[in-house]
Structure 1
Amino acid sequence: MPYSVWQTTASRLISPTALSFNRACRRTCCVGRTLPSRSSSSASSCDEDEVNARISPDWAKYRCHIERRGYRLDTVRDVKDYYLHHCSNIEKQGLHVYLSGYHRALARSDEDALCKDVGLRESLFRATRCLDGTKVMVKAVHRDSRELDIVQYLSAPAQQRDPMNHCIPILDLIDAPQDDLCFIVMEEWSANMFPETPVSLGSLMESLRHCIEHIAFMHRHRIAHFDISPRNFLTDYNGRYACIDYELSRRIDVSCPRILYSRGSEIPPEAERGRLSNPFMIDVWALGVLIFRACELAEFHVPELMRLAKPMLHENPDKRPPAASVLKEFQRIQATMSKTQHGRHISP
């Protein structure tokens, strides 16, 4: 089946909005080491919406605190150096035209001033590890947030040893207890799933393997991600893919959970209708959409993947397969693909 015909078929299963992919989107966040716990009475008194809301810290206030832990927040000098190095073929005037997000920074005279990437959310700031120059991302969260709780759990040694755990590498957690904040420091990877086209079938399958494995791993630990999308799986372009953004994630403690859901990148039909849904099946729906999106991005038609994703997008959430079953079938598909197929390239 030609790719164009496959694309038409896919659009019948998920909406055109779900199939669209914003290649310019850049979002990053993730996990770290254990912090001292606050008292249960203090934690219980916190308003849940408040502690789980996005943080907009005064980054200048915490600059020295973060530097004492070995990380330097980006300054005007860092930004200028980066863009002059990576955009050396663009004229000076062109930098202001094509890199409008950094226009103000490039025009500033104080090169030691902090330079926030306007393309990032207020809770995120680019930085550099002083020890070796490694580029990192720093995310501010509330100390009692669900995100920090889940990040600490997923980055604990026992979970890190599991080969199915594909959280992005966490370098540090910087506590700011006086303001009930924590700064999560993680490696900065790329939000573009594939470095260039044409893409090999093997690369597509490996990227999907990491995505499916991680969601199956999370579900095994009774955690729903709630915001599965291509932009929340990053790559280091060395064959590794990692999950980020646990802002909406929740621990699911009950055996037969049902929740109301209205956030995230992919909203399943039952949620659009305002009905209660199994949180794990919400993730399965979004994972099915991700499979189609990845194939669209790589411009591949893989009939086996279409058959895998179709039941994941069933209107009835109770008829969608669990993530563990999706992974098992994916592993079977990957194992049966020949080496010739894995090396095949399709031009865009």
Structure 2
Amino acid sequence: MATPPGSAPTEPPPPAPGHLSKREVWWRDHHVWLRERGYMLRPRYRPQWVPSWSSGQRQYYECEDGQRLQHGQLIDATRVADGAVVVLKQVLRTEHPYEVEIAQFLTSEHLLSDPKNHCVPIYEVLQAPDDGNIQVLVMPLLREFYDPRFLTVGEAVEFCRQTFEGLQFIHEQHVAHRDISELNIMMDPQPLFPQLFHFVRQWQNRDLTGTARYSTRTRHPVKYSFIDFGHSRKYDPSAGPPRARPIWGGDRSVPEFHKSLEPCDPFPTDIYYMGNVVRAALLQEYRGLEFLQPLIDDMVQDEPANRPTIQQVVCRFELLRGSLSTWRLRSRLAKRDEDWLVRSFRVIAHVFRTVLYVLTFRPALPVP
């Protein structure tokens, strides 16, 4: 039956738990090739897979192989050579023609040693054997930067330091990211989660037999990374001021994009993106970071020309960071929505943790 005029098309129902989605099928069909290249997928994506819940003893959602990919272009794998867990990302040349080139450039050997480089490393690029349009990026397993939550002012300040310097590094290479958002800044989870976690159900361990155990950023400092360079572009400084047509990414609040679709300088837009991440993920979530407010307000101004450059952001931030005492950095970050009972337990836990960190000489600023 035809869809009535003016009505939205009906979404196809999701496949049954024992069936793979269209994108999952692609990974299953390339399992042998990936294994030959040194990467082993989980049992769900092996050609002869039989659902482990078929016996009826468990429900599909209790089983490791019952977890469907949330983002079909991304999948986890085990590197056969050393057992490391990596992430494979499917990239279509026709959709993102510059992603592989820019990602490889930013993590090339001569740039990787720069301490300001916070771009996700690219271990390898695989070319699909049956489709010249498809490439597969091999990257480390990462996790959303805000999970688990920040516990101290020092932990939040270190996140800002790394990401501001990371964006400074990207801009120094004459690259505009053009899609910075809470989804495109991640962290290396290995220090916090020594046993890691399941790729789909990240609050559980890898075999879904229990909760994923984790530490704190102060005890085990982490490194943050920018990911997803699908919208990024590299500009030639000798060609004059860079100009690019607006492109909508994860953050759709960019003021200049709502005013005009004419080409504009993408570098001030990156400043807005970065400031908006800090505003949404830190300032609006926690109390105790008010000293960052003037800087972030300048970064998210409506008029791009009034925003500071990333060099100015880093300089102003370093002055702020230098003004904070050790005890201020160790102070607790309180969630804005926590009730009095939760607050009571968290205050007690924070006092005990702080005493332990002081006695064991853990720095208040957790630099990895």
Residue aligning to 2:39: 71
Distance 2:38 2:230 in 1: 25
Matched, 1:185 2:138: yes
Query: What SS does the corresponding residue of 1:230 show, helix, strand or coil?
Result: coil
Q: Of the candidates 238, 254, 257, which is equivalent to residue 242 of structure 2? A: 257
Report the CA distance between 1:142 and its aligned residue: 3.6
The sequence identity of aligned pairs, in percent, is: 26
Give the Cα–Cα distance (whole angstroms) in 2 for the partners of residues 150 and 193 of structure 1: 26
Is 1:327 aligned with 2:314? Answer: yes
**Deviation sequence 1:180-217 (CA, Å, 0-9, x none):** 232111111111424245x1111101111111111111
**Would you say 1:219 and 2:163 are equivalent positions?**
no
| 1:194 to 1:297, Cα distance in 2 relative to 1, 3 A | farther
Q: Which residue of 1 aligns with 2:27?
A: 59
Whether 2:163 is the aligned partner of 1:195: answer: no
Q: Is the 8 A contact 1:74 1:125 kept in 2?
A: no
C-alpha deviations, 1:271-295, integer Å up to 9, x for none?
1122432100110111110111231
Is this contact kept in 1: 2:153–2:288, CA < 8 A? Answer: no
Provide the rounded CA distance (Å) in 2 between the counterparts of 1:77 and 1:174: 18
Q: Is the 8 A contact 1:142 1:148 kept in 2?
A: no
Distance 1:239 1:74 in 2: 27
Determine if the alignment matches structure 1 residue 248 to structure 2 residue 231. yes
- The equivalent position to 1:318 in structure 2, one of 305, 318, 331, is 305
Question: Is 204-213 or 122-131 further displaced after alignment?
Answer: 122-131
Q: Deviations over 1:59-82 (max 9, x none)?
A: 23322222122111222399xxxx
Other structure's SS at 2:225 match: strand
The residue that corresponds to 2:277 in the other structure is: 290
Distance of 1:286 and 1:333 partners within structure 2: 21
* 1:214 aligned counterpart, secondary structure: helix
- Taking the TM superposition and a 5 Å limit, the aligned residue runs for 1:329-348 are 329-348=316-335
Query: Residue in 2 aligned with 1:165?
Result: 117
**Contact 1:202–1:343 (CA under 8 A) maintained in structure 2:** yes
- Secondary structure (helix, strand or coil) at the match of 1:258 reads coil
AA paired with 1:130?
A: V
Distance of aligned partners of 1:77 and 1:278 in 2 relative to their CA distance in 1, 3 Å threshold = closer
1:257 partner letter: P
Where in structure 2 are the equivalents of 1:1-348 lying within 5 Å? 58-76=26-44, 92-93=58-59, 96=61, 105-106=65-66, 117-120=68-71, 122-142=72-92, 145-176=97-128, 179-180=131-132, 181-196=134-149, 199-235=151-187, 236=189, 237=192, 238-253=221-236, 254-266=239-251, 267-276=253-262, 277-296=264-283, 299-348=286-335
Query: Which amino acid in 2 is paired with 1:119?
Result: Q
SS of the aligned residue for 1:345 comes to: coil
Q: Distance in 1 between matches of 2:242 and 2:106?
A: 21
Maintained 8 Å contact 1:229/1:287 = yes
Alpha carbons 2:69, 2:75 under 8 Å: kept: no
Task: Kindly name which structure, 1 or 2, has the bigger radius of gyration based on alpha carbons.
Answer: 2
Matched pairs, number: 266
Code of the aligned partner of 2:178? F
**Are the counterparts in 2 of residues 170 and 185 from structure 1 also a CA contact under 8 Å?**
yes
The code of the aligned residue for 1:264 comes to: G
Kindly provide the amino acid, as one letter, of the partner of residue 76 in structure 2: R
Structure having the higher helix fraction is: 1
Equivalent residues of 2:31, 2:45 under 8 A apart: no
Q: Distance in 2 between matches of 1:305 and 1:334?
A: 10
**Counterpart of 1:179 in 2: which secondary structure?**
coil
Say whether the 8 Å CA contact 2:271–2:307 is kept in structure 1: yes
Structure 1: 4+ residue segments shifted above 6 A: none
Residue 202 (structure 2) aligns with: none
Q: Deviations over 1:83-121 (max 9, x none)?
A: x9xxxxxx955x63xx7xx89x43xxxxxxxx7x4311x
Counterpart of 1:269, as a letter, is P
CA distance in 2, matches of 1:247, 1:56: 21
Cα distance in structure 2, aligned partners of 1:216 and 1:140: 28
In structure 2, C-alpha distance between the alignment counterparts of 1:123 and 1:196, rounded to whole Å: 27
Aligned counterpart, 1:40: none
- Identify if the C-alpha distance between structure 1 residues 92 and 177 changes in structure 2 by more than 3 Å, giving closer, same or farther: closer
In the superposition, the TM-score normalised over structure 2's length comes to 0.66
Gaps of 5+ in 2: 1-22, 47-51, 193-220, 336-368
SS in 1 for 2:183: helix
In structure 2, the residue corresponding to 1:289 is in which secondary structure?
A: helix
